[in-house]
Chain A
């Protein structure tokens, strides 16, 4: 499952991320627990919560972020 197509309101754990320094810096990396908030239509970004922070990630990156649902 990739982050872009993940369900809004679901908690995920990140399985893999594409090569992108900013993702690492901001804390989106393998093993991070996030809550997906929404995907924006028409090529828009994904919004997610990481801890108490709100983060927006462009669609092209979000498609390559693999996630797994947190049980």
Chain B
């Protein structure tokens, strides 16, 4: 499940080619000002936009066209400055230096000073710039009013007011882009002299005071909620309530969806239909087995994908899309900073960890905003080792449906313990330093209903497109392995490890093989296996710690290098078999045979 549609994570070579081939316009601005919404409105492509700094940590490009004038639009990662403090800023600077045709700069009306400071840095680059003044609605809520004419006068560029999520101001913006960047009638560029960051802030503050008027509005109910959430009391309480509620929605609504709609549909209608369809093939046992046997393609693809994975993934995306749009997560990051910094990282990384509950791939990409390679590696290792992705969690919830109450609790406790252990070990082993938190806390927003549902739908579709392929490959692979009895020699070979060391039934072999392709596939084979409680717990631990999926290897290799990718693969596999077996041996030793 990659996070957004058609997102191309580019290498610098290809982007240079794009710059040569076509007019190209950079979309820039501070984090969290709604750039990604502009991008999707301008190009028709969808980039996930959320309410915290650094959603666009890689860059994305798409084709756009204004009255027949074609150009490439490049969504630059949001940054606070252009001084290359982290990878996101480095990318922004290098894009500017490649000589784009122009920049569309998104100003944040609610925090004009910070926006202007960054804009002044961009204006130094001698490139035509058009500004959009966004988030006027939030500014008004905070009792601020911005005088556009005065702003244009001081900046020397065109400024168009917009409310991106409601598509207000886009026609005017397009016209302005056409007149000032694509077919510039006059080349009016104000080149600012080289100012130090202190001077830049002073200039930005002067402009801000000149153009903004305050009406001294009282804090809205939403702002009061935001303030309460970021205080230890009642913030922790609200945080836990939000986490518990989110989990409850995913788990219970998922179970209900499964029991009421999906299981009857699959077991009552779809699978019997295929059983009938293939009943003529019973004389060809092998083909029959591959198609509709116990592990037949047309049985497990529905049982595993539709009833196991889909309900939980869908609900997680629903809940998470709401959470990430609301500004709740950065407040939690502030609250949990003290705990996180004891683990050797800073609170802001909590957002990457929460993101990884959905899928490790966007979570690992999001660590690009980390201040050092060490910090990135610690978080990436935690994600790869311990945090289950949503598909996997869905499979685990289904597996634990029959388990004793302590099994899921013990697994959650194991995850917590492992997070502590792994962050301690990696921060000891890795060289370098981790900078403490420096983070802007965004405004609390009630997600706009229209864009919420759009985002949710696109993510859902994206999951189907990106995950379905590998899942089907895994399913077909499983069907063939079992149907042709090719699994037997492998099971025999692994028997000492699986039954002696892990104390697990032979389905484990299939799980270990399929788990390489996708994470939830390491759990799925157990669901038919009638495990004891202890075995379920061990199955959970093995699957958690086991190798992350193929997409994760890909992203590890491209974000870090092949060495990191291989190291993670080897250590996770070894660790998973070792810890799983250790739990089994200890449990047996103390006579905990359930």
Task: Decide yes or no: A56 and B337 within 8 Å by CB, A20-B435, A31-B198, A47-B441 being known contacts.
Answer: yes
Q: Which of A12-53 contact B (CB under 8 A)?
A: 20-32, 38, 40-45, 47, 51-53
Q: Are B436 and A27 in contact (CB under 8 A)?
A: no
Q: Does B338 contact A (CB under 8 A)?
A: yes
Q: Are B80 and A56 in contact (CB under 8 A)?
A: no
A24 nearest CB across to chain B (Å): 5
Q: Are B201 and A61 in contact (CB under 8 A)?
A: no
Chain B 336-380 per-residue mask, 1 if CB under 8 angstroms from chain A, else 0: 011101100011000000000000000000000001000000000
Q: Are A45 and B441 in contact (CB under 8 A)?
A: no
Nearest B residue to A53, CB-CB: B111
Q: Are A55 and B438 in contact (CB under 8 A)?
A: yes
Find chain A residues with CB under 8 A from B114 CB: 26-27, 51, 53
Q: Are B342 and A43 in contact (CB under 8 A)?
A: yes
Q: Are A55 and B80 in contact (CB under 8 A)?
A: no
- What is the bound-complex CA distance between A38 and B339, given in angstroms? 17
Q: Are B342 and A51 in contact (CB under 8 A)?
A: no
Nearest A residue to B336, CB-CB: A44
Q: Are A58 and B113 in contact (CB under 8 A)?
A: no
A67 nearest CB across to chain B (Å): 16
Q: Does B401 contact A (CB under 8 A)?
A: no
- What is the bound-complex CA distance between A46 and B185, given in angstroms? 50
B105 nearest CB across to chain A (Å): 16
Cβ contact of B346, chosen from A20, A32, A58, cutoff 8 A: A58
Give the total of B residues in contact with A, Cβ under 8 Å: 42
Q: Are A44 and B338 in contact (CB under 8 A)?
A: yes
Chain B 194-234 per-residue mask, 1 if CB under 8 angstroms from chain A, else 0: 00011001100100100000000000000000000011100
Q: Are B435 and A55 in contact (CB under 8 A)?
A: no
- What is the bound-complex CA distance between A47 and B335, given in angstroms? 10
Nearest B residue to A28, CB-CB: B438
Find chain B residues with CB under 8 A from A58 CB: 337, 341, 346-347, 435-438
Cβ contact of B85, chosen from A21, A45, A59, A60, cutoff 8 A: A21
Task: Decide yes or no: A56 and B435 within 8 Å by CB, A22-B371, A30-B198, A40-B232 being known contacts.
Answer: no
Task: Decide yes or no: A52 and B110 within 8 Å by CB, A22-B438, A27-B117, A29-B201 being known contacts.
Answer: yes
Nearest B residue to A21, CB-CB: B85
B115 nearest CB across to chain A (Å): 11
B213 nearest CB across to chain A (Å): 13
Q: Are A25 and B83 in contact (CB under 8 A)?
A: yes
Nearest A residue to B205, CB-CB: A51
Q: Are B338 and A25 in contact (CB under 8 A)?
A: no
B502 nearest CB across to chain A (Å): 39
Among B114, B117, B438, max chain A CB count under 10 A is at B438
Cβ contact of A56, chosen from B85, B144, B231, B437, cutoff 8 A: B437
Among B110, B231, B337, max chain A CB count under 10 A is at B337
Top 9 A-B pairs, shortest CB-CB distance: A58-B436, A25-B81, A21-B85, A25-B80, A44-B338, A58-B437, A22-B438, A54-B441, A42-B338
20 A-B residue pairs with CB within 8 Å: A21-B81, A21-B83, A21-B85, A22-B80, A22-B86, A22-B371, A24-B197, A25-B85, A26-B440, A40-B232, A40-B338, A45-B437, A54-B230, A57-B437, A57-B439, A58-B341, A58-B347, A58-B436, A61-B435, A61-B438
A residues near B, CB below 8 A? 20-32, 38, 40-45, 47, 51-61
